[in-house]
């Protein structure tokens, strides 16, 4: 499966999503990130927080979607609200479009504690989402089922201060249906 994360500046959220997807899903997902107006430089706090969570940062760079003319993703996920309405001429009609509204922690750089908490929440949320996608991919679902699950996962947010076992008990894949949902 090919996955493209879009954010207008491709300097924080889409970069984090790309790095986490690559780490969590490995060879199951061919992942890229890009932006319509790339900053040309990854925000330094993005790289710092990824490294603090032992997520590899090598090769991550801010780039324009124009630099990926031969990349044909199955899914395009916008991760910032300004990118959701942007036209993606290279992929329109070829890829399923999904929006995950994620807060940009790099805008909180004036408040170190708030910035750290926001990065931890972003990383925990994306890690859990991509673990769910990995679990689903290992069952070889159709593109339609994957699109449904990506849409469901858009509503999954994690408070970073909760232990992982508690986070995972709240949301998961139902054994009966294989679909994502809240577990009671």
Instruction: Quick: pLDDT tens for 93-145.
Output: 578 889 999 999 989 988 999 999 999 999 999 999 999 999 999 988 888 89
Question: The tokens of 171 are what?
Answer: 């949301």
Confidence (pLDDT) at 171: 45
CA gap 172, 177 in Å, rounded: 11
CA gap 8, 77 in Å, rounded: 12
Instruction: Quick: pLDDT tens for 70-107.
Output: 889 999 999 987 655 655 545 555 788 899 999 999 89
Instruction: Quick: pLDDT tens for 5-57.
Output: 999 899 999 999 999 999 999 999 999 999 988 898 999 999 999 999 999 99
Report all structural domains of the chain as residue ranges with CATH numbers, in order of start.
2-159 (3.40.50.2300)
Which residue's entry shows tokens 């449904």? 148
Confidence (pLDDT) at 162: 46
**Closest among 45, 53, 52, 46 to 16, alpha carbons compared:** 46
Confidence (pLDDT) at 16: 98
| Partners of residue 35 on adjacent β-strands | 64
């Amino acid at each position: 499966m090919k996955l493209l994360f879009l954010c207008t500046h491709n300097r924080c959220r889409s970069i984090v999503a790309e790095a986490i997807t690559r780490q969590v899903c490995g060879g199951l997902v061919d992942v890229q990130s890009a932006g319509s107006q790339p900053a040309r430089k990854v925000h330094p706090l993005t790289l710092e927080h990824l490294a603090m969570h032992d997520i590899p940062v090598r090769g991550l760079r801010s780039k324009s979607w124009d630099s990926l003319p031969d990349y044909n993703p199955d899914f395009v996920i916008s991760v910032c609200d300004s990118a959701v309405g942007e036209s993606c001429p290279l992929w329109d009609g070829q890829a399923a479009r999904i929006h995950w509204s994620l807060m940009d922690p790099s805008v909180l750089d004036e408040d170190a504690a708030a910035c750290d908490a926001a990065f931890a929440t972003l990383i925990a949320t994306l890690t859990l989402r991509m673990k769910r996608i990995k679990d689903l991919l290992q069952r070889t679902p159709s593109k339609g089922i994957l699109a449904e699950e990506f849409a469901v996962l858009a509503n999954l947010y994690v408070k970073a201060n909760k232990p992982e076992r508690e986070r995972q008990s709240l949301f998961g894949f139902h054994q009966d249906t294989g679909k994502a949902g809240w577990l009671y």
